[in-house]
Amino acid sequence: MKKFYEILIISVIFFTICLIYRGQQRITLNEGKGWDGIYYYKMTEQIQAGVRPVAGELPFVRRVGTPFLIAAYSNFTGKNILDSALYINLIGAFITVVLLFFWLKLFFEEFWICALLCFLFMMAWYAPVRYSFYVPLTSDAWGAVWFVGGLLLLHGVRKSYSNKNNRAFIIYITAYALVIAIGTLFRESNAILCLLPFFILNPFKNVHFFSGAVKISHGIQLLKKTGKLYFIWQTLFLFIPLIFILLINMMIRKLTVVTDLNGYSYLQNVLSWFFTKSLPEYLLGVLIAFGPVILLVPFFYRQYKSLLWERQELGVLLIISLLFGFIGGTDTERILLMSGFPVILLLLGISIKGIFNSSQRWWLYVLFILQTISFRFFWSLPDHTVKSGHTPIPFFGLMSNHFKYLYLYSHFSNYLLGLLLLIEYFVLFIATWYVLQNKVVLNPDNAARRKIS
């Protein structure tokens, strides 16, 4: 019964946010379709008309899942494609939030922490909940559903493997493979989840960093110990998700036709961004994506490093998401969030809990006030065509609606805005360090020793 009331509260928060921001003006670009939406719109029209296979451009044509749902909803209700897309994505966003809450409850007993983290996810202006009102035709909302659902099942995979419950392990790994394979129909980056089961064995547990001189014999022993982890019959089932991903990609190729064979290359896109995206731009993208509260995470490393070491699949996912944010494209903020938001929110929750239980709790409230500015609690999203004689001076965000929408992103903002934001975050980071330099906050082990002495 307690769980029911918790989900009820989360649901009330979600629908309250929808009611508040439903007045968000839809983007006027391409008649409300936005940038990527023009490709999804064409795909949806083809699906409605019964055209098979669906033709389109890469990478959008591979994401047939959301256009299929939109087309089915539009045909059933009689609503136009854009309105149908809004409802479909809001449904997906709601399911994502509920699944995210269940996943966070695996790590936190405190309801308020899980609710707060879900609230932060919902209030991010570029995330599926609020962004769907601005640009309805996106694939992120339902990609996130299968993403978080997969992580929930991965917890069952790890638990059943650790308990040597072979029957449950096979069931969980098969269900996990099915979920991430379906998720690939909505967002191709979900395919990377097929690698995570190989890390539930914690293959790096025998690695000891900074343990003195490194010898070749040590490396050979390390390889032998790591190899023994995988040379058992159960590990064969870890390949099931990889097989499912290969099969679903074969199916996608039969369901779709690429119309621009020479127009897009995943490898070329990755290499292009690897060599062209600057570190300051990337750092600014990370700060914009998660707001001032992300500055707490480096200071509470001691509180979560053991968790990432004991659950190495989460550490690997974190590294992958950070990498995707760098090489994935122009929208560093959105790509970073959608490729690893459960893990990053988990680290945020651990950090928030750490400072909340200290005498420096007041600083957390300061960061939350700044977070409301960064996440644009008090402003809607401006249109891409807004004409203004000046751009507002940034203060952890742009406190206005009178500027071009793309200025909100690290890649599209001008150099002066980006520089000022980086300076502000740097000053805030120094202030956070000054407040948290109290060893009771940053090193709980020292606090315990003081109590004993």
Predicted structure pTM score: 0.91
The answer as to whether 215 is a domain residue is: no
Same domain, 335 and 451: yes
Distance CA 429, CA 433 (A): 6
Over residues 212-222, the mean pLDDT reads 58
Residues 77 and 3 in one domain: yes
Report which DSSP code applies to 135.
Answer: -
Q: At residue 448, does pLDDT exceed 50?
A: no
Do 255 and 365 belong together in one domain?
A: no
Which pLDDT score is estimated for 47? Answer: 95
Concatenating the DSSP letter of every residue in 413-445 gives S-HHHHHHHHHHHHHHHHHHHHHHTSHHHH-HH
Residue 312 and residue 257 in one domain: no
Q: Is residue 246 domain-shared with residue 289, that is, in the same domain?
A: no
Per the structure block, which two tokens stand in for 243? 């097989």
Kindly state whether residue 244 falls inside one of the protein's structural domains: yes
With beta carbons less than 8 A apart as the criterion, state whether 303 and 436 touch.
Answer: no
For the chain, how many structural domains are there in total?
2
The mean predicted confidence, pLDDT, of the chain is 89
Q: What is the rounded average pLDDT of the residues 193-199?
A: 95
Range of the domain at 154: 1-200+232-264
Question: 269, 331 in Cβ contact below 8 A?
Answer: no
* Interval 207-216 mean pLDDT: 54
Q: Which residues pair with 54 in a beta bridge?
A: 256
280-294, 356-370, 381-395: range with lowest mean pLDDT: 381-395
- 441 pLDDT more than 90: no
138, burial (CB in 10 Å: exposed 0-12, middle 13-18, buried 19+): buried
| pLDDT for res 384 | 83
Q: What is the pLDDT of residues 286-329, one digit of tens each?
A: 999 999 999 999 999 999 999 999 999 999 999 999 999 999 88
Task: Return the percentage of the chain with pLDDT > 90, whole number.
Answer: 74
For residue 219, tell me if it sits in a domain: no
